[in-house]
A and B are shown apart, each in its own frame.
Chain A
Amino acid sequence: MQHDDVIWSVLNGQFCSYKQQKSKTQIFCSNEYNLTGLCDRRSCPLANSQYATVREEKGILYLYMKVVERSHYPKKQWEKIKLHENYIRALKQINEHLIYWPRFIRHKCKQRLTKLTQYIIRTRRLMLKKTAKQELVPIKKKAERRERRHEEKAFVAANIDRAIENELLERLKKGTYGDTYTFPVNAISMDEEDEEVESDEDEEEKEKEQESEEEIEYVEDFDESDAEDMEDMGDEEELIKSIPSSKKRSLEIEYEPAVEIPVRGAERAGIIYCYATRDSVADDWHVDKLEFKGSSQSQRFLFYDRALRRTSSSTEKLE
């Protein structure tokens, strides 16, 4: 026989394990089946033999009902009824099941239903958001620190640039690049041969050049230093023989083969490149182009071009 009042006087007066008095004004009840959450004569699930609640489990709402007739079956005490997903239909369900029940319980059950549906909607919305999807994984400081250090050490050990260079050179050797790159194989011996050949040519050509250069003085006006250069020409003969042959150019710029005459004046030094052709072996050489390049300059200056010369009677021509 359920003596609700007796139970209540004991729980209220002496001790109830579900009673939580966290604030001065309100006493809360931590019993899961409590309808309002407060420790109250009407809300206490232990002190009321006829009681009902609405509870949520994994997003589905259930109506729990407790009746005096089952009070001696603790296992079967609570009747669990699944409520409809639709809010309005669920309300109707509550009204049906709790018909003739005290108004307080019915009202509170419906209030609780409202609150819980709102809560469910909110959780659903949150779960769809980015923050909920991201799984937060804690950063292990020690592991991080170690990995960073390992990476630094690995980087030092790797010596990446050198590895890449070696790999590229290997590929070059294997021949994957084919004919794209050609390097002179025996650079030194080639030069010696060239020297011998060129020195012979030089002697032939320089005689012609001298004459042509004297003419050039009238044709073009160039730097003042060149005038002095011309005077030094006589001594150049000996110099030319001992000069090493054409300097190696860098891969990018290509020039036609020319005779180089190093030249030095008071203010600057440089090289005169002389291009000459002849119609046949028996013919005389004639100069086609003369270019000057100062030693500190990167480009050559064309200062005589045979094609541009004036055909006037005052100047002597070379044939």
Chain B
Amino acid sequence: MVRRKKDSDSNDNDKRPIHRKQSKKITNDDDEESSTRTPSGTLQVRNKMVRQLLYAKLKRSKSKSKLKERKARQQSDEPREEPKTIEKKRLRDETWVDENDQETLDDISNDELNNYFTRQADSTEPKLLLTSQEGFPTSFTNKFLKELARILPNTTYFQRRHHPIKRIIKKMNKLGYTDLLVVNEDHGKPCTLYISHLPEGPTMKFRLTNARLSKQLRSNRGKSCAKLTVRPEIILNNFNTRIGIRVGRLLAALFPHDPQYKGRHIITFHNQRDFVFFRHHMYLFKNEKKVALQELGPRFTLKLKSIQHGTFDALYGEYEWIHKPKHKMDTERTKFFL
């Protein structure tokens, strides 16, 4: 079916054998040209070859007119419209926080991670414990865990065996650990990351996707990442809402204070549309305006699934925030939480 706009100017009337008729009735006069008009006004050509030719012609004329408009737009002095991105169309969140929102700062100064950020004497350097889920991790997850243990400073990889998490947490409190990281896997690949801040901090569950070992990164040329002996710098990008700030603080509290700038290692948590991308680079300033980055170390993406108050207690813990697709948290394309 060839659809014709009634008001279009670009029709080549001389080539078309059919006259345009204002009436919508199907008349017998059209039969000889093997086409009819349907009640809705569209042209119906029975002959496939003719139909295809007509359609191709229509398309060409359309693209021509578009090109014309485009050129006119470019040459005119009208200001160009900004390209619409999802970030720009993002629904304004009530919880979006400005830089120096007093309420946020007050709340933050009383949260569990405050000890780390104000450098109180009793909170020492962060000490992390990294485990897998119950049982034995598969080979890829194993490698991934060992890499993480090498990159995150002051981390020990602890074999889970069958120990229940609550018992592990008890022991960790005695030994002075500050954070527990648990990586669960599914079908041989790591799929979930739990970060639990120890004294009484929040537990966050993330969905881990696209994990790549340092060997697999092209920029690394097949070498695995060495142990990070230098305190890296941290970048936290785009953590804007209240939840985002909470997540950002937890992630920042995994790393020791006072990065060593001479080491030139940088670890980034970049949040884009609720996905937190983890990257580990080494940088070099070529001049004032250029930096060269080389990616080392593993990379993965996190997506926040739930925030639970207190240490790990899946059944009886108090949840601050859960991502519930069933309750239509996912319906709007432009709505983000972090």
Those of A128-150 within 8 Å (CB) of chain B: 130, 133, 140, 143, 146-148, 150
Those of B29-88 within 8 Å (CB) of chain A: 85-87
Those of A164-196 within 8 Å (CB) of chain B: 164-165, 167-169, 172, 176-178, 180-181, 183
Q: Does A100 reach chain B (CB closer than 8 Å)? A: no
Known: A163-B270, A165-B291, A169-B289. A155 touches B277 (CB 8 A): yes
Type the 1/0 row for B266-282, where 1 means its CB is closer than 8 Å to any CB of A.
10101011110101010
Residues of B with C-beta under 8 A to A150: 273, 275
In angstroms, how far is the closest chain A Cβ from the Cβ of B290?
Answer: 8
Q: Is B261 in contact with A177, judged by CB distance below 8 angstroms?
A: yes
Q: Is A167 in contact with B273, judged by CB distance below 8 angstroms?
A: no
Q: Does B209 reach chain A (CB closer than 8 Å)? A: yes
**Quick one: which of A143, A151, A153, A164 contacts B279, CB cutoff 8 A?**
A164
Number of residues of chain A lying within 8 A (CB) of chain B: 29
Residues of A with C-beta under 8 A to B135: 130
Which of A140, A150, A160, A181 lies at the interface centre, i.e. has the most chain B CB atoms within 10 A of its CB? Answer: A160
CA distance A133 to B303 in the complex (A): 24
Q: Does A158 reach chain B (CB closer than 8 Å)? A: yes
**Quick one: which of A130, A155, A176 contacts B275, CB cutoff 8 A?**
A155
Residues of B with C-beta under 8 A to A151: 209-210, 275, 301, 303
**Quick one: which of B235, B272, B288 contacts A172, CB cutoff 8 A?**
B288
In angstroms, how far is the closest chain B Cβ from the Cβ of A254?
Answer: 17
Known: A130-B134, A130-B135, A167-B235. A158 touches B272 (CB 8 A): yes
In angstroms, how far is the closest chain B Cβ from the Cβ of A289?
Answer: 31
In angstroms, how far is the closest chain A Cβ from the Cβ of B299?
Answer: 9
Residues of B with C-beta under 8 A to A153: 273
CA distance A146 to B86 in the complex (A): 16
Q: Is A158 in contact with B277, judged by CB distance below 8 angstroms?
A: yes
Q: Does B287 reach chain A (CB closer than 8 Å)? A: yes
In angstroms, how far is the closest chain B Cβ from the Cβ of A104?
Answer: 46
CA distance A157 to B287 in the complex (A): 27
CA distance A178 to B262 in the complex (A): 11
CA distance A160 to B238 in the complex (A): 11
In angstroms, how far is the closest chain B Cβ from the Cβ of A110?
Answer: 37
Q: Does A223 reach chain B (CB closer than 8 Å)? A: no
Q: Is B261 in contact with A180, judged by CB distance below 8 angstroms?
A: yes
CA distance A223 to B14 in the complex (A): 85
B135's nearest neighbour on chain A, judged by CB, is A130
Q: Does A154 reach chain B (CB closer than 8 Å)? A: yes
Q: Does A256 reach chain B (CB closer than 8 Å)? A: no
Those of B84-102 within 8 Å (CB) of chain A: 85-87
Residues of B with C-beta under 8 A to A161: 293
**Quick one: which of B85, B277, B287, B330 contacts A183, CB cutoff 8 A?**
B287
In angstroms, how far is the closest chain A Cβ from the Cβ of B255?
Answer: 16
Residues of A with C-beta under 8 A to B293: 161, 164-165
In angstroms, how far is the closest chain A Cβ from the Cβ of B208?
Answer: 11
CA distance A163 to B266 in the complex (A): 13
A171's nearest neighbour on chain B, judged by CB, is B233
Q: Is B291 in contact with A168, judged by CB distance below 8 angstroms?
A: yes
Number of residues of chain B lying within 8 A (CB) of chain A: 33
Residues of B with C-beta under 8 A to A178: 261
In angstroms, how far is the closest chain A Cβ from the Cβ of B11?
Answer: 40
Type the 1/0 row for B131-156, where 1 means its CB is closer than 8 Å to any CB of A.
00011000000000000000000000
CA distance A169 to B292 in the complex (A): 11
CA distance A183 to B289 in the complex (A): 10
Residues of B with C-beta under 8 A to A167: 235, 237
A172's nearest neighbour on chain B, judged by CB, is B285
B299's nearest neighbour on chain A, judged by CB, is A160
Q: Does B283 reach chain A (CB closer than 8 Å)? A: yes
Residues of A with C-beta under 8 A to B272: 154-155, 157-158
Type the 1/0 row for B253-265, where 1 means its CB is closer than 8 Å to any CB of A.
0000000011000
**Quick one: which of A157, A169, A172 contacts B273, CB cutoff 8 A?**
A157
In angstroms, how far is the closest chain B Cβ from the Cβ of A127?
Answer: 14
**Quick one: which of B235, B262, B285, B289 contacts A164, CB cutoff 8 A?**
B235
In angstroms, how far is the closest chain A Cβ from the Cβ of B97?
Answer: 19
In angstroms, how far is the closest chain A Cβ from the Cβ of B325?
Answer: 6
In angstroms, how far is the closest chain B Cβ from the Cβ of A306?
Answer: 37
Q: Is A160 in contact with B270, judged by CB distance below 8 angstroms?
A: yes
Residues of A with C-beta under 8 A to B283: 164, 168
Known: A157-B86, A181-B285, A183-B287. A164 touches B266 (CB 8 A): yes
In angstroms, how far is the closest chain A Cβ from the Cβ of B281?
Answer: 6
In angstroms, how far is the closest chain B Cβ from the Cβ of A182?
Answer: 10
In angstroms, how far is the closest chain A Cβ from the Cβ of B160?
Answer: 11
Chain A residues at the B interface, C-beta cutoff of 8 Å: 130, 133, 140, 143, 146-148, 150-151, 153-155, 157-158, 160-161, 163-165, 167-169, 172, 176-178, 180-181, 183
Chain B residues at the A interface, C-beta cutoff of 8 Å: 85-87, 134-135, 162, 209-210, 235, 237, 261-262, 266, 268, 270, 272-275, 277, 279, 281, 283, 285, 287-289, 291, 293, 301, 303, 325, 330
- Interchain residue pairs A-B with the least CB separation, the first 8: A158-B272, A154-B273, A154-B272, A154-B275, A165-B291, A183-B288, A168-B291, A167-B235
Show 27 A/B contacts (Cβ-Cβ < 8 Å), sorted by A: A130-B135, A143-B325, A146-B330, A150-B273, A151-B209, A154-B272, A154-B274, A155-B272, A155-B275, A157-B86, A157-B87, A157-B273, A160-B279, A163-B268, A164-B235, A164-B281, A165-B293, A167-B235, A168-B266, A172-B288, A176-B261, A177-B261, A178-B261, A180-B262, A181-B285, A183-B285, A183-B288
Beyond A151-B301, A164-B283, 7 extra complex contacts between A and B, CB < 8 Å: A133-B134, A151-B275, A155-B272, A164-B268, A167-B235, A168-B283, A178-B261
